[in-house]
Amino acid sequence: MPQPLAIAYVTSQESIEKAASEVKQLVQEEGLNCLINNAGINVVANLETVTAENMLENFHTNSVAPLMITKAVLPLLKRAAAKGTGMGIHRAAVINMTSLLGSIELYWGDRANSFKWYPYRTSKSALNMVTRCLAVDLEAHGILCMALHPGWVRTDMGGPEAPLSPEESISCVLSVIGGLTEKDHGSFLHYTDYDYARPDTHSVHQMEVLYEELGHRMSPGTSCTNLGSSLDLASMVDLEEENIQGSLRFSLFYDQLQSKLVVTVLDAQDLAVRDFSHSVDPFVWVRLLWAEREDEEQNSMQCVLDEWQTRLVKKSCSPVFGDQFSCTLTEEEISRITVRFEVRDFDKYSRHGVLGEARAALNSLKLSYPLELREDLQVPKKDMVGEALLSLKYLPTSQRLEVGVLKIRTVCHPNKTERALYARTSITCNHCKLRHQRTAQKKRWEVTVFNEVLTFTLPDQQIRECTIIVSVYEVQPSKKSFKRLIGHIHIKKGKTSENEHWKLMMQSLRQPIAKWHLICI
C-alpha cells in the first residue's frame, strides 16, 4: 500500500507542524489541493460513566485536531486555491470526516435511544461547527470546506456488524469528493440511517488501487492513457452546451480487399474555451453506430459496433490528432453505419465537457478512395439504442423508493459473440450521487428479462427531488475486463419526457407503476 505523504500524531502540535513542513517540501509551489481530516476515536461513555477526561480526550482528537491541522497547512491550501476558479479539489478543499451520530437534527424519536455516547457524539457535533466556521473564513480564498459522513464501516471502531467494508466506503467517498462544487461549501453530506446500497463489484478494488485513484484525483496535471474506459456518461455535463463552435477534420476509407473501414481523426480548429477553466484539453470519442433498419425515416434503433478515442492534446483550441482506427465490416453493413465524432474537453475528475459533435452517414458517401471531410461542430444529439420496462414505487412512511428493472430491449449486431447485460441504477440529488445498485448479469437476448427490484432508503425530501439514472452495460463473459456502456435512462420529476411516470408514481403511492423508457446514448 502506498505510504502517506507525512505522518502526524494529531494530538501533538509539534507532530502536526512537522508533518505540514514535510508536505510543503513535497507539494512545493503547487500547493495542497485537498486535506482530508480522517483521524478519529470513539470513547464510549453514557451519562452514568462519562467523565471530564473522557470528554476532553474525544474532543482533542475529533474536534480540535482537525482545526489545528487545517491551520498548519492553510498556506499550502491558499497557494493551490490561487491557481484556479470555482470550488472543489481541482482548486483546494478541506474535508472533515464526521458522523451521523453528531447530527442534532436527527437525534429525535427512536434514534435518541441508541448510541448514548456523550464524548463521541458531542465531539462530532463540534466538528460540524468547526467545519461551518472554516467555510465562512475560507470562502474568500476559494477553499471548499465541508463535513462528510463516510458510512458505518467495518473498522476497529465500526465493528464487524457494519454494512460497509473500508474499500466500499473509500469508493463512495471518492465519488462524492470528486464531484463537490460551490453548492456543497459548508454543508454536511451523509448517507441516511445506516442503510447503504453496495457499490458495484467492479468498483470495489483493493485498497492499493483506491489509494492510487485518490492520488490521481488529487494531483494536478493528471495524464490519462485511456480517457473513457470507465467513463459514465451520466457524470458528464449537460449535452445541451450553448457555446458550440469550431470544426473537425477527418477522413474515411473503405478497403474492399480487407473489408475494413478506416477512420482517421486529423485535427480540429477554433474550439470553444470553457469559461471556468479558460483553456481546453480536447480529445475525440469516435463511435460506429449500426442501424437496426436501413430505412432512416422510421427512426430505427441503433447499436454501437465499435468505439475509440484519440489521444489527449493539452491546452489547444486547434489540436492536431492524426489517430487512425479500423473495423472489419462487409459492404452491405457500410450502408447502415453512421460515424459519430464527439469532441470533448478532458477533466481529471471524469466530468468531461462536450465541445460539439460531427457525424458522417456512410450510405451517402463514396469510400473506395480516402475521403477527407471537414465538418462544423454541432450540438450533440442523443441516439436511441434500446428501451427498458421500468417500474417505480414510492413508500413515504418507510421513506423507500423501489426501482424495478423488468425488461430491456436492445439492438445487437448478428455477428457479435455471446454477451450479457446488467443495469446500474443511481440516485442523484443536486448532481451528487446518493446511492447506486446494480442488477445481476443476464445473457443478452433481443428482449432480456431481469424482473429485479432495487430498493433505496432516503429522506423524503431527497426522494421527491432526486433523479433516477438507469445505465445499461454490456459485458462479455469470456473477457472479465470487458465492459461497454450501451446507454442511459433519466427519470426526474421536472424532466418533461419522464414527467408522466414520475407523476403516476406520486399519485399511486405504495403501488408499482410500470412504463417503457427509451435508452439513449
Q: Which residue numbers are catalytic?
A: 120, 124
State how far the alpha carbon of 419 is from the alpha carbons of 202, 391, 412, 445, 467, in Å: 17, 25, 9, 9, 29
What is the DSSP code (8-state) at residue 164?
Answer: B
Would you tell me the crossing angle of helices 13-27 and 65-81 to the nearest 10 degrees?
A: 20
Among candidates 364, 479, 365, 367, which has minimal Cα distance to 416?
479
472/407 Cα distance (integer angstroms)? 11
Would you tell me the crossing angle of helices 52-59 and 118-138 to the nearest 10 degrees?
A: 40
State how far the alpha carbon of 147 is from the alpha carbons of 47, 133, 164, in Å: 27, 12, 19
Is residue 33 within 8 A of residue 91, CB to CB? The reply is: yes
210/207 Cα distance (integer angstroms)? 5
10 residue type, one letter: V
Strand partners, 423: 472
CA 311, distance to chain mean position in Å, is 22
Other Cβ atoms within 10 Å of 77 Cβ, number = 25
Among candidates 437, 9, 487, 453, which has minimal Cα distance to 233?
487
